[in-house]
Structure 1
Amino acid sequence: MITSLPRCSPESLLRIVILALLTTVSASVSTTLAATNKSPVLISDSSSTRAIALESVTLKAEPFPLTSSVNFSSDTRTRICIFAMNLELLAGEAANAFSADVQDASGKLYPLRVEYEGQVPGFPGISMLIVRLADDLGDTGDVLLRVNLHGLSSNRVRVAIGHLGGGPADDFGAIPTPAPATPPPADPPLVPDSFTGPVSDAEAVRFLEQATWGPTAADIAHVKAVGYLAYLNEQFNAPVTNPAKGSNYPDLTFPAEDGTACPTSSPGDPNYNQNVCNRDNFSMYPVQRTFFSNALYGQDQLRQRVAFALHQILVVSGASAVNRPSWLTVYLQALDRGTFGNYRTLLEEITLSPAMGEYLDMRLSTRTSPNENFGREVLQLFSIGTAVLNPDGTPQLDAQGMPLASYSQTQVNEFTRVFTGWNFVPGTIAPGTANWRDPMVPRGGTTHDVGSKTLLNGQVVPACGGTNAACAQSDLTAALDNIFNHPNVGPFISKQLIQHLVTSNPSPAYVERVAKVFNNDCSGLYPQGCSNVRGNLKLVVQAILLDPEARGDVKTDPNYGKLREPAQYINGFLRAFNVKSFDKTSTSDGVLGSRSTTDFTGTLDQPIFQPATVFSYYQPGYEVPGTKILGPAFGILSTSTTLRRANDINTLVYTGVQNNSSPTAGSPDRPRGTSIDTTNLEALAGNPGDVADSLNALLLHGTMSTQMRNSLITAMNAINDAIVTTRNRKRAQVAIYLAATSSQYDIQR
């Protein structure tokens, strides 16, 4: 194993490797694969898919590494150089725009890091990539290697690791991809699309999967006609149903906490039901119902989608102390209100919300009895994370390769002192009910710690000689400013928003582009309406959705995309099929279960607004088991929840969610039930291929595999009821069920 040879710098290496590339160019033939699309092309020799590649230390050809040991395990010095064409890079993009992987004979995939990208001198259209081998990649023999750029994967080429031979078979249809006899010209920098014109069906569907709770036929037609920018501007300015609160969540009555809120009967109200009263005042039913109603029918789809993402970052849960819907509503209204505002403003509003004060114990924290819950989580989860980050969101490492800590326990203690002395506004707003409506205020007396405090980056907040209230407010302002201006906040928050809206594994370059917009809203690819401010969430969201890594009609990188979390999975399915009430005479009221809207998402381990911990329903750093690939929503996917997904779709397709028997018929509080409308597909069911094509366009933006399409058609052709309407209904149902429970639909790509 090679361990002692010095590594060449990329610049000196480029001068040497030209000789190897010249050999390939001179040997290429006129049948070279043309690079006609935007996917990268890796260069192979002229007679096979074996890569033109060099080991970056010795500059010798494969196998890599140059050793006879059969027990080789690659280490941090083992890198190979491969060559690529057709790289459409934005101006300034570099190696962190790429990802790579290899597959061994057993089918195991090993993620690789691309450490360098540079043009080969004399060959302007050919670039060299230096790829670091995975540390756990041993003497595997041949592997298939690919690189990915902006969600598009290259062809896969064969590279020998440890010894030559063996390995997986070439991909179906793979052909040699030698460099052309005439070196190609340099690829011009990728110019971001203006996105002012119309788009295709597939592009519109992909965009709406990311920007809404799911495409509808009407929304697809609208986005196709007006384009992305116009649609985003409409969404940024979409009205809300509760303008006074900037939200679609209505103000709820705060129930008395003295035992009188829900008596056994209510004279004069024939519709009164004690169970319904308890449901509406002491469970999450009202806010969950509003959430689903907004998701299914709301016109401010982008606000609702982003607000739910922010809920999973700035977490308050209704599963524990904040267990009244009226208490949680004030927090949800703040999220709606701040979705397109400034993150600094939102951070303070959530910090002082009574729900957060109760959830993370800030309202109980005093000078003599400090509680560190909020002081810790505001750093770890709401702003900077646990590791010092590079601008692209990757962690900075120490000499041992371990992430550098972004804060210490001492700093947690200092921030804990900052957040002392706050509590609910004095008084009650209902018998026995504290003021859960208004922001917290400083307590009286000497409850705030007025001593000096050392915050992040060594900033010192001097001792305060003012009143308890003035000192508490000035310290809080200084601390939140200190946190907000930490360089971690941009990449930390931007990456999580990308994960919620677009893909679980964004490239570092994508994260960096969005983080730049967070740091200064005029620094992005789409600065329209910018004002040189930090934390502008509206333009951060726009940057996420219009980035080249997000846009396009199809993505081929196998690690691109995200598992649809239960809320997205159910809402997207219902929106696709014109969701209605159970009897199909009106709209659904957002109630998806017999007594509670958690019957679907709750059994899928995502009870809406009731995450189990402050770490939300799942953690953003969760890796898919057996891989090194981020897949946060896989954290709540298990054998049982996978089966329940299929069961829930079965219920919605074949029966719908029936009307509740309580309260009695005619009561305004009685849920209407939920069903889907399959009439459009039934009209096509005489030709099963048309049904499959319609589902392909609506659910999969044209990416349905041939195998899946054939399976749908076979299943539909097996249904031949004598009554045509019955046959067509059953055909539509089975096709919908199979498509919606497929792995292709599970993953938003």
Structure 2
Amino acid sequence: MRPSLFRLLTAICSMLCAICSSNVFAYDEIFYNDFKVVNDAPASDAEAARFLTQATFGPTAAEITRLRGIGYRQWITQQLSMPATLQRPYVQTLDAGIKSPGQSDRMEAWFHNAITAPDQLRQRMAWAMSQIMVASDQQSGLNQDPIALAEYYDVLARDPFGYYDGNIYHVGNYYQLLYDVTKSPAMGRMLTYMRNQKSNGALSPDENYAREVMQLFSIGLVLRNPDFSKQLDSGGNPIPTYASSMVQAYARVFTGWSYQSGFNSSPRGLNWSAADYLPMICYEQYHEEGGETVLDNQVAAGGPNSCESDLQTGLHAIANHQNIAPFISRQLIQRFVTSNPTPDYIQRVSTVFANSNGDLGQVISAVLLDTQARTGTLPAQYTQPAQNYVFGKAREPLLKLTALWRYYQAAAQNGLYAFNNPQTNYAQRPLGSSSVFNFYLPDYLPPGELGQPAVGVAQYGPEFQIINESSAISTSNDLTQRINQYVGNPNNTGATIAVNLAPLINDAGNAQTLVNDLNHDLLYGSMSASMNTSLVSMLGKLPAAATPTARVIATLQVLLASPEFAIQK
């Protein structure tokens, strides 16, 4: 089947599923009552675009209009109700007969969904979760296994807000996400617990996943209060969340799991089988049978045929741990809204997490609808010199490109979004981190006044860990190339992902109008007066013979490289 036809059929199926399931997925709106949302419908395009910059891969003119018409809460409710737009069925169709496939088809599927999929909040949540529960094509031979990775990403898109598998509904909470991630063959290979075997006297079970599922995927290293502040012992020292013996206990819980096609099978290669991506199953003869005491003093059953019950006991103990709410809530705020959420912001979201049993639909609603998120302003106590919190975050490099492509309706004549390795220019690629610690750390302190201020608290800046002189230039250069691939450029090919700059070109004769357009389209009305003046002045100094297209491209090039576009507020 041709990719463009497959895309069309996939889109039609997604639309039908959305219509059929619109009532089935009905989220109760009671949970919004805990948040003060002033003027639920955005009062301006700027307010709507700012929200969409946080909640999607970038605003579009149509989505701004729709959001202004229905309001924040209804927009979120509709997004939570949509089925996930998936990658794996498409990638599998293209790669099933290839002996050593690379990642190009998976990259194309990711960009297609990021730019065109209607379930933007699910797609953004999957992107956020992929940076918390990291699996990577750089590890464990996964570079030749795009189908397993595509299915892993689909788990991150489906699970957070709940989904139907036939007539069976899977609730969208953190336990379910942990459970499905743990059974994923991609994660099993990434963190080396696939074919993990019980102790035999000489060898002990692999502890890799047992450590990272606690340290990185759920509860962190030290006990936290709901506002993410550290809990201290009588000596003023942070209290660890777990001891090394707990890692060993969980390593024994995670024994016996492998492909559905057999414990020692390898369902990859020229004759692919579904076992490559289907959830792993447990082979009891390889599972540790002794009852293990896991977190919160829960005891895994142990004994014959205890594989599944041991796993559920261990994961429930993690999902119910007091730390998971503040630990995950803070990272979600960082990924969507601001790098330095205030303690009261974290506590409000963390409380929703705890009270809802980890319902991620309610949690992301709390993140996006919080007063600080919607206004971008902080309570007075956080702006004093002793605190000096900064609201906002560095825009992720790859999200600069998606914002450009979404607003200006980027598309190729062949219907594909072929971009094999964005990491070269954007220091990021979907499921392409060099390690399980993601592209950047949530606690990264940038050098200079943010990370080491003369007055006030240090400010975290996770994205700045991959933004440097080299990456800033490579990102700007690639964005410049993208805007030169505009609709109508005679150098375009059928595979060129061309942006539609016609509305800007029509206004290029008036410098102020053009700058106002760009402020509206890409900066959600936040352009400073000084930047406005500089751009208008620059346009006035261009040669009189400069074409409208040249004027637009020159202005876009400066805006896309500017600090004001680089920082999301």
Residue 278 of structure 2 corresponds to 438
Deviation at 1:492, TM superposition (A): 0.7
Is this contact kept in 2: 1:424–1:439, CA < 8 A? yes
Distance 1:656 1:698 in 2: 16
- Does 1:652 find its partner at 2:475? no
Letter in 2 for 1:282: P
* Residues 174-225 of structure 1, C-alpha deviations (whole Å, 9 max, x = no match): xxxxxxxxxxxxxxxx971265445322210110001110111111111112
TM-score, structure 2 normalization:
0.82
Deviation at 1:570, TM superposition (A): 1.1
Is this contact kept in 1: 2:485–2:496, CA < 8 A? no
Residue 695 of structure 1 corresponds to 518
**Alpha carbons of structure 1 residues 520 and 248: separation in structure 2 relative to 1, 3 Å:** farther
1:625-640 correspondence to structure 2 within 5 Å? 625-626=447-448, 627=451, 628-640=458-470
Is this contact kept in 1: 2:295–2:318, CA < 8 A? yes
**Alpha carbons of structure 1 residues 255 and 234: separation in structure 2 relative to 1, 3 Å:** closer
Pick the aligned partner of 2:418 from 591, 597, 604: 591
Identity score, percent: 35
Residue 541 of structure 2 corresponds to 718
Residue 101 of structure 2 corresponds to 282
Deviation at 1:577, TM superposition (A): 2.1
Deviation at 1:580, TM superposition (A): 2.8
* Residues 55-90 of structure 1, C-alpha deviations (whole Å, 9 max, x = no match): xxxxxxxxxxxxxxxxxxxxxxxxxxxxxxxxxxxx
Deviation at 1:444, TM superposition (A): 4.1
1:377-388 correspondence to structure 2 within 5 Å? 377-388=212-223
How many residues are matched? 498
Pick the aligned partner of 1:738 from 549, 555, 558: 558
* Residues 126-166 of structure 1, C-alpha deviations (whole Å, 9 max, x = no match): xxxxxxxxxxxxxxxxxxxxxxxxxxxxxxxxxxxxxxxxx
**Alpha carbons of structure 1 residues 202 and 419: separation in structure 2 relative to 1, 3 Å:** same
Is this contact kept in 2: 1:699–1:745, CA < 8 A? yes
**Alpha carbons of structure 1 residues 640 and 401: separation in structure 2 relative to 1, 3 Å:** farther
Residue 642 of structure 1 corresponds to 472
Distance 1:204 1:382 in 2: 32
Is this contact kept in 1: 2:485–2:499, CA < 8 A? no
Letter in 1 for 2:66: H
- Does 1:567 find its partner at 2:371? no
Distance 1:429 1:371 in 2: 22
Pick the aligned partner of 1:326 from 147, 160, 180: 147
Higher strand share: 1
TM-score, structure 1 normalization:
0.63
**Alpha carbons of structure 1 residues 367 and 195: separation in structure 2 relative to 1, 3 Å:** farther
- Name the SS of the counterpart of 1:199 in structure 2: coil
Residue 297 of structure 2 corresponds to 458
- Does 1:303 find its partner at 2:125? no
Q: Which is further off, 508-517 or 424-433? A: 424-433
**Alpha carbons of structure 1 residues 734 and 255: separation in structure 2 relative to 1, 3 Å:** closer
Is this contact kept in 2: 1:241–1:249, CA < 8 A? no
Residue 252 of structure 1 corresponds to 92
**Alpha carbons of structure 1 residues 249 and 232: separation in structure 2 relative to 1, 3 Å:** farther
Distance 2:198 2:539 in 1: 70
Distance 1:517 1:554 in 2: 21
* Residues 28-77 of structure 1, C-alpha deviations (whole Å, 9 max, x = no match): xxxxxxxxxxxxxxxxxxxxxxxxxxxxxxxxxxxxxxxxxxxxxxxxxx
Higher helix share: 2
- Name the SS of the counterpart of 2:109 in structure 1: helix
Deviation at 1:701, TM superposition (A): 2.1
- Does 1:675 find its partner at 2:498? yes
Distance 1:248 1:549 in 2: 37
Is this contact kept in 2: 1:418–1:475, CA < 8 A? yes
Is this contact kept in 1: 2:219–2:323, CA < 8 A? yes
Deviation at 1:509, TM superposition (A): 0.8
- Does 1:509 find its partner at 2:344? yes
* Residues 409-452 of structure 1, C-alpha deviations (whole Å, 9 max, x = no match): 1111111111112111135656665721221111242x211113
- Name the SS of the counterpart of 1:549 in structure 2: helix
Distance 2:94 2:535 in 1: 51
Deviation at 1:287, TM superposition (A): 1.2
Deviation at 1:234, TM superposition (A): 1.8
If asked which structure has higher relative contact order (CA below 8 Å, sep 6+), I would say 2
Deviation at 1:458, TM superposition (A): 3.0
Pick the aligned partner of 2:238 from 398, 403, 412: 403
Pick the aligned partner of 2:315 from 459, 467, 480: 480
Letter in 2 for 1:397: L
Distance 2:494 2:183 in 1: 35
Distance 1:564 1:221 in 2: 23
- Does 1:547 find its partner at 2:366? no
Residue 110 of structure 1 corresponds to none
**Alpha carbons of structure 1 residues 553 and 343: separation in structure 2 relative to 1, 3 Å:** closer
Q: Which is further off, 614-623 or 700-709? A: 700-709
Deviation at 1:653, TM superposition (A): 2.0
Distance 2:236 2:373 in 1: 31
Residue 620 of structure 1 corresponds to 442
Distance 2:214 2:323 in 1: 10
1:34-73 correspondence to structure 2 within 5 Å? none
Is this contact kept in 2: 1:396–1:404, CA < 8 A? yes
* Residues 291-343 of structure 1, C-alpha deviations (whole Å, 9 max, x = no match): 11111111111111011101111111112222211121221121111121111
Residue 247 of structure 2 corresponds to 412
Letter in 1 for 2:425: T
Distance 1:425 1:565 in 2: 37
Distance 1:617 1:365 in 2: 27
**Alpha carbons of structure 1 residues 550 and 248: separation in structure 2 relative to 1, 3 Å:** farther
Distance 1:407 1:539 in 2: 28
- Name the SS of the counterpart of 2:339 in structure 1: coil
Deviation at 1:549, TM superposition (A): 1.0
- Name the SS of the counterpart of 1:348 in structure 2: helix
**Alpha carbons of structure 1 residues 734 and 303: separation in structure 2 relative to 1, 3 Å:** same
Residue 81 of structure 2 corresponds to 237
Distance 1:347 1:703 in 2: 39
Letter in 2 for 1:288: M
* Residues 686-730 of structure 1, C-alpha deviations (whole Å, 9 max, x = no match): 2101111121222222221122111111111122444xxx52211
Gaps of 5+ in 1: 1-189, 263-277, 522-533
Distance 1:566 1:658 in 2: 27
Residue 366 of structure 1 corresponds to 197
Distance 1:437 1:214 in 2: 30
Is this contact kept in 2: 1:204–1:224, CA < 8 A? yes
Pick the aligned partner of 2:229 from 394, 411, 416: 394
Q: CA RMSD in A?
A: 2.7
Is this contact kept in 2: 1:201–1:220, CA < 8 A? yes
Deviation at 1:671, TM superposition (A): 6.6
- Does 1:207 find its partner at 2:51? yes
Distance 1:736 1:748 in 2: 17
Distance 1:658 1:632 in 2: 39
